[in-house]
Amino acid sequence: MRLRDPSGGSITVERPYLPFTPTEFARARALVELDARLGPRVPHRGDVLTLPEGNEITVRRAGLGDLEAAREMHDRCSPATLAQRYHGPVGDADRYLRHLLSPRFGRTLAAYTRSGRLVALGHLLWDGDETEVALLVEDAWQRRGVGGELLGRLVAMASDAGCDSVYAVTTSSNTGIVAAMRALGLPLDYQVEEGTLVITARLATAPAPAPAPAPAASEAARRWSDGGC
């Protein structure tokens, strides 16, 4: 399978068994186009933000190069915080983080303090035709606006990519993510099952342009304004 690379050249994908189907080709092409749209959204050099309390953080795209910093943040997080993010005990943090930081599965934003300490990760994860958002904020930095800053940017990236909605999976007791989703100002749907809460935000779409009036109607309107019948 050969795909046009938006940055120039081509991308070749091979496998040693059955040929690619038209559906697989279409999905691969859509992913390449999606990557081209999302790539420039947050520059790697970072965007410096001032939180409501006055602290500065730098938000930038993250990848596997941030793995060590993410491991260290995991070690500083309480079991309760990790359980809320991963919906249970984390047996192999390294495996989880490698998956989440890989660009193959989505996009990740990282929040760093002025001293260079990673304090939060936000993920936009491709899930078939749906898109999941997920946040992990170090305990000492929770309820300080970091999660909301990341979530707003993730939703903007999803909207730019043409997604109709995003969803977050958490526990029913996680009031932080509920408040952050509500602060988006988007229509929300809630589903609760056995303590698991799924919040879906329907993304705003631009209104369709009004159709141009028919020529006859326009002429009639002109005659009326001129005193005609």
- Per-residue model confidence as pLDDT tens digits over 72-117: 999 999 988 888 888 766 666 677 788 889 888 889 999 999 899 9
181 vs 43: which has the higher pLDDT: 181
Residue 211: pLDDT over 70: no
- Say yes or no: 149 and 114 in one domain: yes
For residue 225, which amino acid is it? S
How many domains does the structure of the chain reveal? 2
The per-residue pLDDT for 189 is 94
218 found inside a domain: no
- Say yes or no: 142 and 32 in one domain: no
86 found inside a domain: yes
- Say yes or no: 56 and 141 in one domain: yes
- Say yes or no: 34 and 108 in one domain: no
- Say yes or no: 30 and 104 in one domain: no
The per-residue pLDDT for 17 is 67
- Say yes or no: 155 and 66 in one domain: yes
The per-residue pLDDT for 117 is 95
The per-residue pLDDT for 168 is 94
Check if the beta carbon of residue 179 is closer than 8 Å to that of residue 188: no
Give the residue numbers spanning the domain of 76. Answer: 45-202
- Say yes or no: 21 and 96 in one domain: no
The per-residue pLDDT for 161 is 84
Residue 209: pLDDT over 80: no
- Say yes or no: 74 and 133 in one domain: yes
How many beta carbons lie within 10 A of that of residue 194, not counting itself? 5
Confidence at 217, pLDDT banded by 50, 70, 90: very low
The per-residue pLDDT for 219 is 43
Residue with structure tokens 């809460």? Answer: 197
- The least confident of 3-12, 51-60, 202-211 is 202-211
Q: Which of 168, 142, 143, 141 is nearest to 154 (CA)?
A: 168
- Say yes or no: 13 and 86 in one domain: no
30 vs 200: which has the higher pLDDT: 200
The alpha carbon of residue 84 and the mean position of all alpha carbons in its chain are separated, in whole angstroms, by: 19
- DSSP conformation letters of the chain: -EEE-TTSSEEE---SSSPPPHHHHHHHHHHHHHHHHHTTSS-TT-EEEE-TTS-EEEEEEE-GGGHHHHHHHHHHS-HHHHHHHHTS--S-HHHHHHHHH-TTSEEEEEEEETTS-EEEEEEEEEETTEEEEEEEE-GGGTTTTHHHHHHHHHHHHHHHTT-SEEEEEEETT-HHHHHHHHHTTS-EEEEEETTEEEEEEEPP-PPPPPPPPPHHHHHHHHHHHTT--
7 found inside a domain: yes
Q: What is the dihedral of CA 167, 171, 173, 174, to 10 degrees?
A: -50
- Say yes or no: 95 and 120 in one domain: yes
Residue 136: pLDDT over 90: yes
- The least confident of 1-5, 193-197, 208-212 is 208-212
The CATH number that applies at residue 181 is 3.40.630.30
- Say yes or no: 67 and 104 in one domain: yes
Residue 45: pLDDT over 60: no
207 found inside a domain: no
For residue 100, which amino acid is it? L
